[in-house]
Amino acid sequence: MSYRAPVTEMRFLLDHVLGAGRLAETERFAEATGDMVDAILNEAARLAEDVLAPLRRAGDLEPARLENGVVRTSGGFSEAYKAIADGGWVGTAASPEFGGMGLPVSVLSCVNEILASANLALSLCPLLTQGQIEALEHHADDEMKALYLPKLVSGEWTGTMNLTEPQAGSDVGALRSKAEPKDDGSYSVTGTKIFISWGDHDFGGNVCHLVLARLPDGAPGTKGISLFLVPKFIPDADGNPGAANSLKVVSLEHKMGLHGSPTCVMEFDGATGWLVGAPHKGMAAMFTMMNNARLGVGIEGLSQAEAALQDAISYAQERRQGRTPEEGVETIQGHADVRRMLLTMAALTATARAICLDCAFSIDMATATGDAAWDARAAFLTPIAKAFGTDTGCAVSDLGIQVHGGMGFIEETGVAQYFRDVRVTAIYEGTNGIQAMDMVGRKLADGGTAAKALIAEIAATADAAGGALGARLAAAADALGAATDWMLGSELNDRFAGAVPYLRAFALALGGHYLLKGAAEGSDPQREALAAFHVERLLPEVPALCAQARGGAEQLYAWEIAS
């Protein structure tokens, strides 16, 4: 199967469902016209289809390897990364002041989906650099910005994020890495970090590590953590890579998937680094990068759902197996259960894309207008985008294997790679359970204002749709509203116990909202059929999920976990 970027679907969603044309009416994004967006997405599609996609299997079969302390990447990856950098794709949304295009995050999100669908392992490298760019734009001093941002934006240098330690995974406050101040204003950083994606490579340039560590006077827990920029090579007086820093790759992780992406154990042994932002405020600076990454990871999940869906449709159109009840159809696409799987895959993928792009669009509107309501909307959608996007990647790639039957379990077909590659996305950048707890904790701390505003949008779409489909969506909105009220009146651990079903209920209700809005635009039988399937077959889960969400924590602790 040859991947084809869904540019037409992206443009329809942006223009007719989300109303993203409003961005070009703002001063900040005046250049993001329809013609400009078309040109950007079509060019990204050519890069993905012609350069990145042919290397997807090579990255899986020829993993990155560590040789004498040097990371060697999969065949063709270095040249493909150069094509990404030379095309300016790393700096799609970065500030023009430092060489970026300054385009909306919603456009960047489409580009990132296209690149990740074609080759998820390689696309992680520029994605991490984009997160570092945003963190430095917000928190670095002018001198650091001037030195590092042009190199990062151009893709000449790449960036990483170093949070996790063997004893400190999701509990970042348990880290042991330390930083000692030096006389010249720099710091000596010491510690071991694990699970560092693209911690090194053979692309040339410099690898710039953002490292969380504790100063000697740092308080215990997350409040005492600072953030440091620690480059692989210390820049010389001219800003070029100079002497090698005191850091190294100890080993590469042996992973279930993403074999082409080197995941490193990094050792910093008194490495020279520079403080980013204020002392002891490292988590605030890192969360800028993590929030960027959470949306980006949701899009990674979406990307593999799209790729797996395309592959499954192609196979179903070619595979002959048994007699079908559909006149003139001799392939398995005529079987009712295969159609059920394909429609489920398509509906979940469309929902995940809409949530991710709505989140990105909300970020853009907050940036362009300064309106706090848009900012709150983006914040509330972020954990949904991350968790539902990656859950969808796992579910859809799993269904893709099922559509292929026994051939899906055979590695030679390449179908299992989608699932193996995407599975980790539900874990990193905050597990999906943590995303759900954030949603019912911090994101409801406004008294439910942002949540209720979205529920009102869903209810308005239900009223506009009318009929049986509108009634089903209205019932989902009512159930979601009742669950939200329950959350607001409950103890925090009771909320946490029902957080995951609450998030999924919200996502599925939003899917009905987006798909019905899309079906109302014109008279496209395909859109109408997909919307009807989602509302009739997937939306009935919402009341049941909301009932689970209100179950409380007591029952979970009544069962004694046996050793």
Residues with catalytic roles: 429
Helices (H), 229-335: 282-318
DSSP class of residue 266 equals E
CA atoms within 13 A on the CB side of 24: 13
* Residue whose pair of structure tokens reads 């939003």 in the numeric block: 510
Contact 530, 468 (CB under 8 A): no
Residue 227 sits at φ, ψ, to 5 deg, of -115, 135
Task: Count CA within 13 A, CB hemisphere, residue 32.
Answer: 28
The torsion angles phi and psi of 190, rounded to 5 degrees, stand at: -135, 135
Question: What secondary structure, in 3-state letters, does 248-262 show?
Answer: EEEEECCCCCCCCCC
Which among 200, 334, 214 has a CA at the least distance from the CA of 267?
A: 200
Residues 6+ apart with CB under 8 A from 153: 90, 91, 94, 95, 98, 99, 100, 133
What DSSP assignment string belongs to 370-414? Answer: --HHHHHHHHHHHHHHHHHHHHHHHHHHHHHHHHHGGGGGSGGGS
CA separation for the pair 108, 123 (Å, rounded) = 13
User: Which residues, in sequence order, are bridge partners of residue 80?
Assistant: none
**Residue 336 phi, psi dihedral angles, 5° rounding:** -60, -40
> Measured between alpha carbons, how far is residue 397 from residues 104, 207, 342, 401, 417 in Å?
29, 32, 11, 6, 9
CA dist., res. 314 & res. 310, Å (int): 6
Instruction: Mention every residue, 6+ apart, whose C-beta is less than 8 A from residue 310.
Output: 1, 3, 4
3-state per-residue secondary structure call for 437-456: HHHHCHHHCCCCHHHHHHHH
Asked if 516 contacts 476 with a C-beta cutoff of 8 angstroms, the reply is no
Q: Is beta strand 187-197 parallel, antiparallel or unpaired with respect to 178-181?
A: antiparallel
Sign of the dihedral through C-alpha 437, 443, 446, 450: negative
